[in-house]
Amino acid sequence: MNSAYRLARQNKTKTMSTYLNKFYNQEVLPFLKNIAWACNLKYHEDLRTFLIVGVVYASEYWRWNLYDHPQYPEFSQSIWFRLFDIFWLMMTCTHAFYCATIVHNCVHFAQFRNYHVNTVWHLVLGHTYGWPVYFEFLRRIFFFEVCIDF
């Protein structure tokens, strides 16, 4: 057995991942938990959904404003624009799958502690998903209440 491996197994040498884990647990994790608490989130892991949805909105806004650029007709004929189109299409498809998963999870489990903030979040997710998420939620409740009345 290698002596370096034995020392690492006996925890006498500290690796870089040990320092990174310690830094993450002592510095980054409390910071993320404070941000999640300030945003009224139930879990700090839900900050990733903010990032993904923000990237979707930013890419759509960027692409929408690209067509208003004065040099768009000349730029659209170049090979770089075609490569950009392929990259943007792949990125949009990937993020559409991410947003569909986020919508599915947010419909089943509330992300925020406040009902009204969850309602607004469902409207925001409906714009990324392309389907009215909150409308479906209301339809299910209404259908359930109508069935109880009969």
Q: DSSP characters for 54-67?
A: HHHHHHHHHHHHHT
pLDDT tens digit string along 85-135?
Answer: 888 889 888 988 999 899 888 888 889 998 888 888 888 888 887 777 766
Residue 52: is its pLDDT beyond 90? yes
Cβ atoms of 41 and 114 within 8 Å: the answer is no
Token pair for residue 134? 């909150």
Secondary structure (DSSP) of 11-49: T-S--HHHHHHHHIIIIIHHHHHHHHHHTTBS-GGGHHH
- The DSSP 8-state label assigned to residue 110 in this structure reads -
- Condensed to tens digits (0 to 9), the pLDDT of residues 7-48 reads 555 555 566 677 778 888 888 888 989 999 998 999 999 999
The pLDDT value recorded for residue 150 is 44
Structural contact between residues 68 and 94, judged by C-beta atoms closer than 8 angstroms: no
